[in-house]
Amino acid sequence: MPESLIRAAVLERPGTEPRIEELTLDEPRAGEVRVRMAASGVCHSDLHVRDGEWHRPGPIVMGHEGAGYVESVGPGVDVAATGLEVGRLVALSWIVPCGRCRSCLAGRVWECPVSPSYTHLMPDGTSRVRRPGGEDVLAYCAIGTMASSQVVPAAAAIPMPDGTPPEVAALIGCCVATGVGAVTKTLPVEPGSSVAVIGLGGVGLSAVMGASLARASGVVAVDRVEAKLALAREVGATDTVLAGGDPVETVAAIRDATDGGPDVCVEAIGLPSTVELAVSCLPTGGAALLVGMTPAGQRASFEVFPFVDGARRIVGSNYGSAVPSVDFPRYAELYLDGRLPVDRLVTSRIALDGLEDAFDRMRRAEGVRSVIEF
Ligand SMILES: NC(=O)c1ccc[n+]([C@@H]2O[C@H](COP(=O)([O-])OP(=O)(O)OC[C@H]3O[C@@H](n4cnc5c(N)ncnc54)[C@H](O)[C@@H]3O)[C@@H](O)[C@H]2O)c1
Ligand SMILES: [Zn+2]
Ligand SMILES: [Zn+2]
C-alpha cells in the first residue's frame, strides 16, 4: 500500500503534552479521501482533551476544526456527485454521519450515535496513520486535523465555495457551525428577541454573529475579559457586561441590559457556575442554550419551582445542529457576502509546533482563535 510521511500533533494520552511527530499516512481506501491540510483552528475542545478533562484514547492525532485540499480520492467515491475533485478546498466535519441510523435518516446527523467520530477510526474500524515502528495512531473524530495531510471519510469532507479562505473554512468546521447554528438552528432566535451570550471565544462570538444575523433586537455579550467585549461589539453585540467575581451582580447587569432577562441565554464556556448563571438570568419563558462543554462528570443545579412555574427551558446544542453538507457552504456564502465576519475570529496564525503556546493563550483567554497553517 503506498504511503507518505506527514507531520502531526500527537497526544499519547489525555493530560500529557502533545508532541510533533513524523508519521506514515496510507492512501485512502473505499469511501475515503486524502486531504492536504491548509488550516486547523485550536478549539477549547482540543484543550479539554489536552488537559485530560475528557477521556479519550491515545495515541491520537489532535484537531477537529480544519480545512484543506483534496489530494486523492479512494475507490468508490463519486467525484461528480460529491464535488470532491483533486485540488478542491474542503472543510472537515467532526461529525461523520453514518448515513444509516435513525438520526441520520431523519436528517439529525449531529445526533448520530454510531459516527466514526466516536471511535477516531475510519468507518471500517481501521486507522490510516502509523508511527514509524508500525503502531497505529488514532485521528480525533476520524479527521485529526492537526496534521500536514490526513485521510478522512468522504462524508466528512465538505466542498467549499470558490473564494473561501482556508482559515475561514476551518473555523466553519467547528466554532462557526456550533455558535451560529445554536442560535439559528437548535433554538432559532426570533427577530426582535433578546439574546445574551456568556463566554466570548470562537464559539460565543459566533453565537453573537448568529444572533445578530437572526435580527435579535439586542445581543448582550458577557465575558470576564474586557478585550473580548470590544471584539463582540465589532461582530454584532449591542451591549456588553464585564463578568466580575460576583454572579449576582453579573445576573443583575444582564437583566438590566435585556429589559428583565434575555429570551435566550447562550452559555459558551462549559463551567457549572456559568451554566447556573445562564439559568438564573432567564425571564419567564426564557431559554438557556447550553453550548459550552464541561469537563467530564460535572453537574450544575438550579431551583426547580421558579424554573417550572416560569415555563423556562434548558436546551443542549451539539455542533449547532449542523448538517455539514448543507450548512458549511451556506455559512461560507454568508461570509463571502460580508454577513458573517468569520475572519475576525482569527487572532494568531501559527505553525504546528506553536500548539502548546496557543493552548497557554487560550487558558489565559488571550485572543480568540489560533490557526495552525501548514
Ligand atoms: N456544543 C458543541 O458542539 C461545542 C462545539 C465546540 C466547542 N464547544 C465547547 O464550547 C466551549 C467554548 O469553546 P471556545 O473554543 O469558544 O473557548 P474559548 O476558551 O476560546 O472561550 C471561552 C471564553 O469564556 C470566557 N470565560 C471563561 N470563564 C469565564 C467566566 N467565569 N465568566 C465569564 N467568561 C468566562 C473566556 O474569557 C473566553 O473568552 C468549550 O467548552 C468547548 O469545548 C462545544
Ligand atoms: Zn471545536
Ligand atoms: Zn448515523
pLDDT of residue 172: 99
Q: In angstroms, rounded to a whole number, what is the distance separating the alpha carbons of residues 75 and 29?
A: 6
Looking at all shown ligands, the one closest to residue 226's CA atom is 1
pLDDT of residue 51: 97
Q: Is the CB of 223 under 6 A from ligand 1?
A: yes
pLDDT of residue 207: 99
pTM more than 0.85: yes
Cα(179) to centroid of ligand 2, in Å?
10
Q: Is the CB of 365 under 6 A from ligand 1?
A: yes
pLDDT in tens, the chain (374 residues): 467 999 999 999 999 999 999 999 999 999 999 999 999 999 999 999 999 999 999 999 999 999 999 999 999 999 999 999 999 999 999 999 999 999 999 999 999 999 999 999 999 999 999 999 999 999 999 999 999 999 999 999 999 999 999 999 999 999 999 999 999 999 999 999 999 999 999 999 999 999 999 999 999 999 999 999 999 999 999 999 999 889 999 999 999 999 999 999 999 999 999 999 999 999 999 999 999 999 999 999 999 999 999 999 999 999 999 999 999 999 999 999 999 999 999 999 999 999 999 999 999 999 999 999 99
Q: Is the CB of 213 under 6 A from ligand 1?
A: no
Cβ atoms 291, 267 nearer than 8 A: yes
Q: Is the CB of 181 under 6 A from ligand 1?
A: no
Q: In angstroms, rounded to a whole number, what is the distance separating the alpha carbons of residues 256 and 261?
A: 7
Q: Is the CB of 176 under 6 A from ligand 1?
A: no
- Among protein residues, the one whose CA lies closest to atom 37 of ligand 1: 365
- Phi and psi torsions of 325, nearest 5°: -65, -25
- Phi and psi torsions of 66, nearest 5°: -135, 165
Cell of 307: 424554573
